[in-house]
Amino acid sequence: MSLLTCHHVTKRFGGLVAVNDFSFDVPEHSITSVIGPNGAGKSTLFNCITGFYTPEEGKVIFRGEEIQGLRPDIIANKGISRTYQNIRLFSSLTTLENIMIGMHGRLKTGIISAILRPPRTRKEERWALEESLRILELVGLRGKGDVVATNLSYGDQRRLEVGRALASDPKLLFLDEPTAGMNPRESDNLTNFIRELRDNIGITVVLIEHDMRVVMGISEYITVLDYGAKIAEGTPREIQNNPQVIEAYLGTSGVEGAQAALAGQEA
Ligand code: ADP
Ligand code: MG
């Protein structure tokens, strides 16, 4: 069953069609990668789904409900969470505090209760702390709860981004270039972690990723964007052998280079 469907989504910036009549289905519990050259419209597509942009045309359907045009916080409360291409953490707050901020949509405490702190509020605070520690452990940052975010290694900051996104208890997680800037070991770790998340907590994952080794290793489905339009979709094997995809990745390195790049090998 598909958890999310995009139906003829178009997003324009002035004369530029950043996402062009895009449709796809994301099956529940799957891992799907969105790939394509720089400027292909991948991040814009994520922004249309998560409510940061309203598409001019088309529908985004999540669990049977149209969500295009809804506010990002409302979409987040429905069960869609995301990370950003550029890490967005509260850099002067601790690891644990960053995760607790990600939880706020799940808490009932309003401003009055936060001041009066009745037993119900204190109970919820305890629960939030326990839940945050659980997420910390889940993303492999146990023992680092008191570390100020800016002092974490780059790989750990990426993990914390995922932790913050998981704190809202999403059904569907969008990751925008989660391994960007990582060394091969860090990206292998993160890849395994993403797969475990899906296996262990049943979350559905859509990621934008440039590292073909990661893409081909982790994805069940791949969707290829070029100039805002979907040019191919299929399994990793189908994508590696798709002539249109090879052409989009040709560059200067020729067919063999493109095929090697798509296979995640050095040309
Ligand atoms: P990708 O993530 O695939 O690299 P983007 O979605 O960031 O691509 O960008 C797709 C196209 O839309 C690019 O040509 C980019 O310059 C343009 N674009 C993205 N965001 C904006 C914006 N806020 N205003 C105008 N143009 C934008
Ligand atoms: Mg992008």
What's domain 1-79+170-267's architecture?
A: 3-Layer(aba) Sandwich (3.40)
102 lines ligand 1 (CB under 6 A): no
Give the full edge-to-edge strand order of the sheet including 57-62: 16-27, 2-13, 57-62, 65-66
Closest CA to 4 of 78, 74, 72: 78
In sequence order, which residues have a C-beta less than 8 Å from that of residue 227 and are 6 or more positions away?
17, 20, 40, 41
CA of 109 to the centre of ligand 2 (A): 36
CA of 43 to the centre of ligand 2 (A): 4
* Domain limits, the chain: 1-79+170-267, 90-169
Q: How far is Cα of residue 239 from the mean position of the Cα atoms in its chain? A: 21
For the stretch 156-178, pLDDT in tens is 999 999 999 999 889 999 999 98
| Model pLDDT, residue 170 | 94
Residue nearest to atom 15 of ligand 1 (CA): 39
Type of residue at 224? V
Q: Which residues in the chain show pLDDT less than 50?
A: 267
| Model pLDDT, residue 251 | 60
For the stretch 182-233, pLDDT in tens is 888 888 888 898 999 899 888 999 999 988 889 999 999 999 999 999 999 9
Contact assessment for residue 97 and residue 90, using Cβ atoms and an 8 Å cutoff: yes
145 lines ligand 1 (CB under 6 A): no
Please state, in angstroms and rounded to a whole number, the distance separating the CA atoms of residues 10 and 258: 28
Closest CA to 136 of 83, 194, 97: 97
18 lines ligand 1 (CB under 6 A): yes
Q: What six digits make up the tokens of 79?
A: 């069960």
* DSSP structural state of residue 113: H
Residue nearest to atom 24 of ligand 1 (CA): 13
| Model pLDDT, residue 116 | 67
Contact assessment for residue 234 and residue 244, using Cβ atoms and an 8 Å cutoff: no
Output the CA torsion sign for 183, 196, 3, 105.
negative
Q: What six digits make up the tokens of 215?
A: 């893409």
Please state, in angstroms and rounded to a whole number, the distance separating the CA atoms of residues 11 and 47: 10
Contact assessment for residue 250 and residue 262, using Cβ atoms and an 8 Å cutoff: no
- Using CB atoms within 10 Å of the CB of residue 12, give its burial: 0 to 12 exposed, 13 to 18 middle, 19+ buried: middle
> pTM (2 decimals)?
0.88
Whose atoms come closest to the Cα of 41: which ligand?
A: 1
SS (H, E, C) 12-23: EECCEEEEEEEE
Question: For the chain, how big is the Rg over CA atoms in Å?
Answer: 19
Residue 122's φ and ψ, nearest 5 degrees, are: -65, -35
CA of 21 to the centre of ligand 1 (A): 16
Please state, in angstroms and rounded to a whole number, the distance separating the CA atoms of residues 178 and 187: 8
